[in-house]
Amino acid sequence: MHKNKSYNILDAKLDAEYTALKKSIKNRDSYTHVRGESLYVDDVNIRQGTFHAVVFDSPKAHGKIKHIDYSKAEALEGVERILTYKDIPGKNQIGGIIPDEPLFAENEVHFCGMPIALIIAETEFIAREARRLITIDIEDLPVIITAKDAKEKGSFINEPRTFNLGDSEKAFENCEYIFEGETFSNGQEHLYIEAQGAYAEPLENGNIKITSSTQGPTAVQKTTALVLGIAMHKIEVDVTRLGGGFGGKEDQATPWAVMAALATYHLNQSVKLVLNRHDDLRMTGKRHPYESSYKIGLSKDLKILAYQVEFLQNSGAAADLSPAIAERTLFHATNSYYVPNVTTKVLSCKTNLPPNTAFRGFGGPQGMFVIESAIARAADSIGVSARTIQEANLLDENDTFSYGQVAKQVEAKNSWNSAKSLFEIESLDQEVEDFNKNNSVFKKGMAFMPICFGISFTNTPMNHARALVHIYLDGSVGISTAAVEMGQGVNTKIIQIAAQVFSIPLESIKIESTNTTRVANTSPSAASSTADLNGKATLKACNILLERLKKVASKYHKVNPDQVSLKDGFVYVDHEKSQVEWQHLISMAMIERVALTENAHYATPEIHFDKSKEKGHPFAYHVYGTSIITTTVDCMRGTYEFDSAKIVHDYGKSMSKGIDLGQVEGALIQGIGWMTMEEISYNEDGKLLSNALSTYKIPDLFSVPKHVETVPLETDGHVLAILKSKAVGEPPLMYGIGAYFAIQNAIKAFNPNYNMKFHAPMTPEKVLMGLYEKKPD
């Protein structure tokens, strides 16, 4: 059905061979991780004389700064300097999409935790002591906490966006059933194990090297240059790996790196700034809370004919990535369903919370929660199961998304039907029914969650990458790309690609740190596209080198280059093994003065999007899948456990089964956490209440479903996916949405008066209220 396109000859050539790689492979980092030897920013060997910095931040969510007294702090022994906006030689501006965010507050503060000054001292301890000695006088201004309040007050980040397909207004006239409602999904703390941080060192001539825990080294480089008022080439950013990012370090790793560099600029000394957990929780943004209202219309045979939704995104006090995240909410507003008449609108609401930011799924999960809620509401009122409506509306080949892209290689029904048959849905249903019949205090609930997630940066110009490949004299290989390893296993995948092309052992290949002087002008590692973009660039570079090496071998063997191949570390001629080993071939290439370095560029073909029409083809492809989650609710206590999560996932042709499975399982649990227990809470003054792990509950071993079963869907993959192995980073997070509805179904089994609510997370408190409430008259 799907043909390889001409631009993809490299893939096509590999297609026949890559089966050797489609086995389970260990993450390259697992050895050093387990031994505690992996290096993070906090482990950098610091230079003698390095200073340590701590951020002084706003204690108020909104106000005018009347006076700050730094004198006591400055007088403390060991304090070197306190820097404020007045010390910024360039622009006091870190906004990536919209220039609306100062690095340091000037005359006003806009959220609790907003950086005001940087205290630089001989030790971190002294800097913290000094922070306590600073007094600040702030005149209060009105505080906006919720998106709804912001909307009422006309407080927005930018203009609203609207996607439209068909005529939803008119389509409601032909609907048998129409339902309206409101939903809320809360934010989510990234809780990367490694907190935000950076280390800056002075080099000669005013150059600065920054070691940063960032997903976007170029963003750090660009913003540092802007703030310091110097050229980008004076700033080198280096990243070895992150102890998790989850989107929280796509944009929000930048300020700390810039601050460290600013201090280095002034003091000509190395400066280390690593946030402790409390500071990180308070100062950084999270997943965006969304308040949304929908209207859904269905025909008699349960086809969704019309869907309207307005999303209120709680953006926080500055734009950060909110506009792009809002856009992705619209792209995923209909999940994996075909709806012929759709009107979606998103408003990025400016509030006095820390600027909210990218988080796995990038606004997609928030969009999908609303249509799942609308379906559940409709099902409850009509008196059918949500599953019936979900199944009746699954996307088909050549259906059009509201943004104009025509769905191809659709696996919505395939994954759904596979889940039903593989997991023997009839017996699952029977189990739940029997259990609920025989138990009065415990009730089970089950829910299906289909997913459809678009792969590519929604901002088309960002979809490119480069790879720099060196083959060293001894035959070992070093690769630099823009890919940032954050636990997702991208380095291992890139090693596999090179090993495949050169047919040499994985151990012969090293991934270098991600560094802006080796690979420049890069997009962040995000949008689940890191392996596709950087992997394709690597594939290209390796193939060019391979062709060069084949020429060298063909000259030696006096044959044509196309008679030569490389296999298992040897040169083959006409598929016969020769005496020439890989290392020998590299020596020959050196003697022949052949370049053993290649730098290749890859830009995703085909994709485009016209914002003036809100139509186009923004995604290289979509990832599909279906999860079935079953829960048991303790109807005395309101607590719950997850019996199982059964998933059919569309990996395409997975090139690293172990890594990809890890991504699915991790994302599933992260999604369940978001939907069920992780409750971010700010008080009305804008202070973060859930400011420690004692007040912010994330999934632990007991929250994980007792059985997690993931079955790969056998699909063709996609030519735009690296080696047809589809992107896997974000999509499975949305399987967790099923947990919300599974719990709700269990509550319904206990309490026939339960009035469905769509207010995530579904914490045990809310479950308990639901179990014993009476339907309003």
Q: Which residues are catalytic?
A: 730
Cα distance between residue 389 and residue 410, in whole Å: 19
Q: Which residues inside 716-755 make contact with ligand MOS, applying CB under 6 A?
A: 730
Which residues pair with residue 561 across a beta bridge?
none
Residue 526 near ligand MOS by CB under 6 A:
yes
| 233 to 272: interface string for ligand MTE, x by CB under 6 A | -----------xxxx-------------------------
Tokens (6 digits) for 604: 């995703």
**Binding window for ligand HPA (CB under 6 A); candidates: 258-266, 435-443, 454-462, 549-557:** 454-462
Question: With binding defined as CB under 6 A, does residue 380 bind ligand MOS?
Answer: no
Phi, psi of 2 (to 5 degrees): -105, 125
Asked if 360 interacts with ligand MTE (CB under 6 A), we say yes
The CB-of-246 to ligand HPA minimum distance in angstroms stands at 11
Per CB under 6 A, does 488 bind ligand MTE?
yes
User: In this chain, which stretch among 45-53, 112-120, 142-150, 453-461 interacts with ligand HPA, using CB under 6 A?
Assistant: 453-461
Would you state the torsion angle of the CA atoms of residues 246, 249, 251, 255, taken in this order, to the nearest 10 degrees? 160
Whole-angstrom CA distances from 668 to 365, 593, 701, 735 are 12, 51, 13, 6
Query: Shortest distance, CB of residue 33 to ligand MTE, whole angstroms?
Result: 11
Regarding 604 and contact with ligand MTE (CB under 6 A), the answer is no
Please state the closest distance from residue 325 (CB atom) to ligand MOS, in A: 8
Q: How far apart are CA 669 and CA 672, in angstroms?
A: 5
Residue (of 326, 256, 308, 262) closest to 284 by Cα position? 256
Angle, helices 764-772 vs 737-750, to 10°: value is: 30
651 binds ligand MOS per the rule CB under 6 A: no
Nearer to ligand MTE by Cβ, of 96 and 245: the residue is 245
**Does 459 participate in binding ligand HPA (rule CB under 6 A)?**
yes
Closest by alpha carbon to 200, among 407, 377, 52, 406?
A: 52
| Whether the Cβ atoms of residue 31 and residue 629 lie closer than 8 Å to each other | no
**Backbone phi and psi for residue 327, each to the nearest 5 degrees, phi listed first:** -60, -45
457 binding ligand HPA? (CB under 6 A): yes
Would you mind telling me the total number of residues written for the chain in this entry?
777
Cα gap 523→462, rounded to integer Å: 6
**Under the criterion CB under 6 A, does residue 18 sit at the interface with ligand HPA?**
no
Q: How many helices (H) and strands (E) does the chain have?
A: 20, 30
Contact 725, 656 (CB under 8 A): yes
Q: Which three-class secondary structure state does DSSP give residue 382?
A: helix
CA 173 to chain centre: 39
For residues 272-331, which are near ligand HPA according to CB under 6 A?
A: 321, 324, 328
Interaction pattern, residues 216-255, with ligand MOS; x per rule: CB under 6 A:
-------------------------------x--x-----
Q: Is 158 in the site for ligand HPA (CB under 6 A)?
A: no
Q: Residues in contact with ligand MOS, total (CB under 6 A)?
A: 10
Which among ligand HPA, ligand MOS, ligand MTE, none contacts residue 183 (Cβ within 5 to 8 A by kind)?
A: none
> Site residues for ligand HPA, window 575-594 (CB under 6 A)?
none
- Residue with Cβ nearer ligand MTE (402 or 525): 525
Q: Residue 606 — left, alpha, or beta (φ > 0 → left; ψ -120 to 50 → alpha)?
A: left
**Residue 171 within binding range of ligand MOS, rule CB under 6 A:** no
Task: Pick the closer one to ligand MTE by CB: 83 or 733.
Answer: 733
Residue 488 interacts with, from ligand HPA, ligand MOS, ligand MTE, none (CB under 5-8 Å by kind): ligand MTE
527 binds ligand MOS, rule: CB under 6 A = yes
Q: Does 331 bind ligand MOS (CB under 6 A)?
A: no
According to the binding rule CB under 6 A, does residue 214 interact with ligand HPA? no
Q: Which helix (H) or strand (E) holds 376?
A: helix 364-382
Q: Three-state secondary structure along 691-753?
A: CCCCCCCCCCCCCCCCEEEEEECCCCCCCCCHHHECCCCCHHHHHHHHHHHHHHHHHHHHCCC
Question: What's at 426, amino acid-wise?
Answer: E
Q: Given the rule CB under 6 A, which residues bind ligand HPA?
A: 250, 321, 324, 328, 358, 362, 457-459, 462, 526-527
Q: Given the rule CB under 6 A, which residues bind ligand MOS?
A: 215, 247, 250, 358-360, 362, 526-527, 730
